[in-house]
Structure 1
Amino acid sequence: MSSFAEKLKKAVSISRPIFWLGPPAAYAVGLALGGTMRGPFETWEMLLLAFPLSFLLYGINDIYDFESDKKNPRKGGLWGVRLEEKDIPWVKKTAFLFAAAMFVTGFSTLNPLHMLFTVLGLSIVYFYSAPPVRLKSIPVIDSLANGGYLYICFGLGCSLSGSTLFLHPYVVLGALCVSAGHALGTIMDYDSDKSMGERTFATVLGIRATALFAFVIFAISLLVFLNSGYHSFIGLVAGSFATLLSAFVLLSPKPENAKLAFKALIAFGLVVAYFYLLKYVVFGQWFGDFSEEELSQVRILWGG
């Protein structure tokens, strides 16, 4: 295998392909609700939020976790590969090129809101793992930063039209649900993180407190959804499923239960995301083929 092919294979593993879909999906929803139709620019920026953004986020993470990853039992499979010392220079260069492409793309719009979200997004991606800030080592903030990651992708899409819909309470609550899911993930990794001295939501505040945080966020979101007047079977199932899973972990606060709950949430989220990606993006016109019933429900949800 050629050197380039080896690096490409490793780059894909570093980027954790299972997480490629989330940022482009959040961006696409932001585009749709902000009223921006698909064009070459939007397609290009959305593609940057798939493999390039994931490589940037996890590449920086793997560089700064180089020493701890040597004894990390979770490394491999869905959670990337262990970098070798020889990998660090090319990973740094590739990450810089992707960051530069995102920066130039965002600033080419000359849209102040879009430029702000570009800067915020790149800052979170870098400082999540890099010292001296290292957000992933600040309990609670580590989970909030994960929700903020997708919130900013939504804001990038939404802001292209000048819309401030990213300030809507439902959007903020959606980001908090991502944070709640991440919090459950820190319970899943409790034993290995504790043994390596990692400071996470669960290792610092405890498993039960972390599960309570997730449960409260999911339960509030479900109640808000039920009272919103928006009728969606998938939304109802998603809210109920997340609330029940977090309640299960709260009642039986063990890492193995959190692992089961976390994996179930990821699997459910991927199925739903791929369904909507195929329905509205691949085979549709960026949500433009909503039925009249769906459109009326969306207007109710967003107060239109």
Structure 2
Amino acid sequence: MALAGSPNTSERIFTVIRASRIPGWCFGPILYGIGVIHSRQIPRTIPSLSSAAIRLLTLSFPLCSIVFGVNDVYDYESDLRNPRKIASSLEGGVLAPAFHADILRAATISSLLLLLPSLFTRNLQNVAATSLLVVFGWQYSAPPLRLKEVPAVDSISNGVMVFLSWFVGFSAVGKGIAEAPRKGYMMSLCTAGVHALAAVADVEADRAARMQTLAVVLGARLAAVFAALC
């Protein structure tokens, strides 16, 4: 994506929004809602409904700006070689360096927006889950960990982020990890398996982009076995 001169404000805003993958804005809120339902503590008062609405909002664009936006910044070099990035889709396009600072700034602000509401729950486990969700969102793509290029951990970390999003909802009204039903863990494992299968399907594109995914390092068959075990 080449630009002539410095991008203007509207271009910056549009790019920040596009990098967050608008179709993905629903993922976090859905997982939060499932967590609330599993807690059997459905909000009914105005304060609890307001709190839930705020959490739903922070798990939409803000969470996606971290997970997807940061990914686009640190995947820039590999994206130039990635055939999946040629067409505009949920995969996103190649993010021009002129926008990298804007994306990272938006992700930093989004991190604060995610963390602040958790403090009002007065539940340390909820605060910890939200904090870990932010950390995993960044470290999946950003150094020093860059989890997406650690075979097996790349898929597991996706499952962990799903579990954390679910647990943020489950623990919103005082529930703890000891009370978490198996359903939450099953969603996490299924997500890890689906991610591994997606890596199998994308192995040629990832190899062309020189991405060290599970399927690239271990091969499609072993990656499929890992997915089945999940």
TM-score by length of 2: 0.87
Q: Does the 8 Å contact 2:71/2:141 carry over to 1?
A: yes
Q: Who is 1:299 aligned against?
A: none
Q: Does the 8 Å contact 1:27/1:46 carry over to 2?
A: yes
Q: Who is 1:124 aligned against?
A: 136
1:167 deviates by: 3.5
Does 2:24 align with 1:12?
no
Q: Who is 2:181 aligned against?
A: 168
Larger relative CO (CA 8 A, sep 6+): 1 or 2?
2
Specify which of 68, 73, 80 is matched with residue 70 of structure 1.
80
Rounded to whole Å, the distance in 1 between the matches of 2:9 and 2:42 is 38
2:10 corresponds to which letter in structure 1? A
Structure 2: state its 5+ residue gaps.
1-6
Rounded to whole Å, the distance in 1 between the matches of 2:145 and 2:101 is 22
Q: Who is 1:23 aligned against?
A: 28
1:137 deviates by: 0.7
1:101 deviates by: 1.1
Rounded to whole Å, the distance in 2 between the matches of 1:215 and 1:16 is 28
Q: Who is 1:244 aligned against?
A: none
Q: Who is 1:145 aligned against?
A: 157
1:107 deviates by: 1.8
Q: Who is 1:200 aligned against?
A: 213
Q: How many residues align structurally?
A: 216
Structure 1: state its 5+ residue gaps.
218-304
Q: How big is each residue's C-alpha offset from its partner over 1:203-229, in whole Å with a ceiling of 9 and x where there is no partner?
A: 111101111222343xxxxxxxxxxxx
2:97 corresponds to which letter in structure 1? E
TM-score by length of 1: 0.67
Report the 3-state secondary structure (helix = DSSP H, G, I; strand = E; otherwise coil) of the residue aligned with 1:116.
Answer: helix
Q: Which runs of 4+ in 1 moved over 6 A?
A: none
1:3 corresponds to which letter in structure 2? N
Rounded to whole Å, the distance in 2 between the matches of 1:121 and 1:3 is 32
Q: Who is 1:40 aligned against?
A: 50
Rounded to whole Å, the distance in 2 between the matches of 1:40 and 1:4 is 32
1:142 corresponds to which letter in structure 2? D
1:17 deviates by: 2.2
Q: Does the 8 Å contact 1:194/1:203 carry over to 2?
A: yes
Larger Rg: 1
Q: Does the 8 Å contact 2:167/2:184 carry over to 1?
A: no
2:62 corresponds to which letter in structure 1? P
Q: Does the 8 Å contact 2:148/2:213 carry over to 1?
A: yes
- Which residues of 2 match residues 275-286 of structure 1 at below 5 A? none
Q: Does the 8 Å contact 1:36/1:160 carry over to 2?
A: no
User: Quick check: 165-174 or 71-80, which moved more?
Assistant: 165-174
Rounded to whole Å, the distance in 2 between the matches of 1:171 and 1:159 is 12
